[in-house]
């Protein structure tokens, strides 16, 4: 039974199949209206979400199934042994998606679950976002995926980690224009760092301008993790980041004269990692990308519950 965590255990064929199902279902929605009939997805959230919650819930509805939302604070997950609660939950639903603070909790839950679990974003990985991102890239270019060049600018984090895995498995070129990650950083993953070192198609540069000429897509994400963004104790860190990270910001100057598409996984923080001008630029595909969360979730759910069983 596959659990969708960091995707390191997924083959190129697995990922290609999920993306192919996403495209097929997107193009032929009426053929899949009952595909997950009488199946239920439990969605557990320790952190806030807009897109992950909406897209999974709507995906289940549009595939004929049901999704139920469980907030950590108002369920008994907060009171007792995680493994007990998950073992119970997995006897009532066919699949569980969890957005957690710590990947270690995902591993505990996956070990106790009798049904597949999906990582809905933790401090290290965001696999569902990366599937969406690749789906979006394939839709916004006529070139074969393996010839595309994605330039990610900002900080190495859960989103860039999952893009590294995707690039390694699917063969597109990925440049990370980021400061060197510290090994004590929450998102640090030695296996993925080794992929950056060993795969010549994945490189790290100090400035996005070093790689932008050949980029088909430029992508950024928040400079500060979602759970800390409104934390008053992080105010000084946020202010300092604006100065330290300015060269990594997607703005009109950076993208001037380049034929590329602008991506961001949302939520957006104007004038931190990106400017509003760049968000609204005609080259921006940010809202298509966000809308594709729905289609990528459908492909993943269908693969997990029907095609791969
Ligand atoms: N990109 C993303 O995961 O969005 P949410 O945090 O709103 O779910």
pLDDT-based confidence at 184, cuts 50/70/90?
Answer: confident
**Number of domains, the chain:** 2
Ligand 1 mean position to 122 CA, how many Å? 11
- Cα gap 123→232, rounded to integer Å: 20
N-term to C-term CA, the chain: 9
210 and 145 both lie in a single domain: yes
Q: Are 222 and 300 part of one and the same domain?
A: no
Asked if residue 111 and residue 16 are part of one domain, the reply reads yes
User: Quick one: 238 and 266 in the same domain?
Assistant: yes
The answer to whether position 159 is within a domain reads yes
Q: What is the mean pLDDT of residues 222-233?
A: 80
Probe residue for ligand 1, chosen from 43, 46, 49 as the CB with the greatest number of ligand atoms within 8 Å:
49
**Residue with token string 């591993």:** 107
The predicted-structure confidence for 140-173, as pLDDT tens digits, reads as follows 999 999 999 999 999 999 999 999 999 999 999 9
Q: Is the pLDDT of residue 243 over 90?
A: no
* Pocket-testing residue among 58, 265, 288, ligand 1, by greatest number of atoms within 8 A of Cβ: 265
Residue 232 has pLDDT above 90, yes or no: no
Tokens of 129: 């976002």
Domain with residue 37: its CATH number is: 3.40.50.1370
From the list 142, 111, 129, the residue with the least C-alpha distance to 226 is 129
pLDDT at residue 235, rounded to an integer? 83
Note the pTM of the prediction, 2 decimals.
0.96
pLDDT at residue 289, as a whole number: 98
Q: What atom of ligand 1 comes closest to residue 50's alpha carbon? A: 7
Can you give the pLDDT at residue 202?
Answer: 98
Structure tokens at 1: 């039974």
CA distance 4 to 197: 24
Q: Which of 128, 129, 227, 267 for mutating ligand 1's site (highest number of atoms within 8 Å of CB)?
A: 267
Contact between residue 161 and residue 192 where contact means Cβ atoms under 8 Å apart? yes
Cβ atoms of residues 181 and 156 within 8 Å: yes
Q: For residues 196 and 163, is the Cβ–Cβ distance under 8 A?
A: no
pLDDT digits (tens, 9 = 90+) for 87-140: 999 999 999 999 999 999 999 999 999 999 999 999 999 999 999 999 999 999
- Ligand 1 pocket by Cβ (under 6 Å): 49-52, 121, 129, 265-267
Residues 79 and 163 in one domain: no
In a domain, 3, yes or no: no
- Mean pLDDT taken over the chain: 96
Residue 1 domain-assigned (yes or no):
no
Domain range spanning residue 164? 141-284
Check whether residue 98 and residue 220 sit in a common domain: no
Q: Is the pLDDT of residue 77 over 90?
A: yes
Please tell me the predicted confidence (pLDDT) of residue 242: 79
141's tokens: 């270019």
């Amino acid at each position: 039974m596959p659990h969708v965590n960091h995707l390191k255990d997924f083959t190129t064929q697995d990922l290609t199949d999920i993306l192919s199902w996403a495209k097929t279902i997107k193009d032929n929605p009426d053929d899949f209206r009952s595909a997950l009939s009488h199946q239920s997805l439990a969605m557990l959230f320790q952190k806030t979400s807009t897109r992950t919650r909406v897209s999974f819930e709507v995906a289940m509805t549009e595939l004929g199934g049901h999704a139920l939302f469980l907030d950590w604070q108002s369920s008994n997950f907060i009171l007792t042994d995680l493994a007990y609660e998950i073992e119970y939950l997995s006897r009532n639903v066919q699949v569980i998606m969890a957005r957690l603070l710590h990947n270690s909790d995902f591993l505990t839950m996956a070990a106790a679950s009798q049904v597949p679990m999906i990582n809905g974003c933790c401090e290290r990985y965001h696999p569902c976002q990366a599937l969406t991102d690749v789906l979006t890239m394939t839709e916004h270019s006529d070139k074969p995926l393996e010839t595309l060049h994605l330039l990610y600018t900002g900080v190495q984090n859960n989103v860039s980690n999952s893009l590294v895995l995707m690039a390694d498995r699917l063969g597109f070129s990925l440049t990370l224009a980021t400061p060197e990650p510290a090994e004590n950083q929450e998102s640090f993953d030695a296996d993925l760092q080794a992929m950056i070192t060993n795969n010549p198609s994945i490189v790290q540069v100090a400035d996005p301008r070093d790689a932008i000429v050949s980029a088909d897509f430029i992508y950024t994400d928040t400079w500060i993790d979602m759970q800390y963004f409104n934390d008053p104790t992080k105010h000084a860190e946020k202010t300092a980041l604006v100065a330290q990270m300015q060269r990594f910001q997607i703005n009109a100057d950076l993208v001037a004269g380049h034929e590329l598409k602008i991506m961001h996984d949302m939520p957006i923080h104007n004038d931190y990692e990106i400017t509003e001008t760049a968000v609204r630029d005609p080259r921006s595909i940010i809202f298509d990308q966000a809308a594709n969360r729905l289609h990528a979730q459908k492909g993943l759910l269908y693969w997990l519950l029907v095609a791969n069983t």
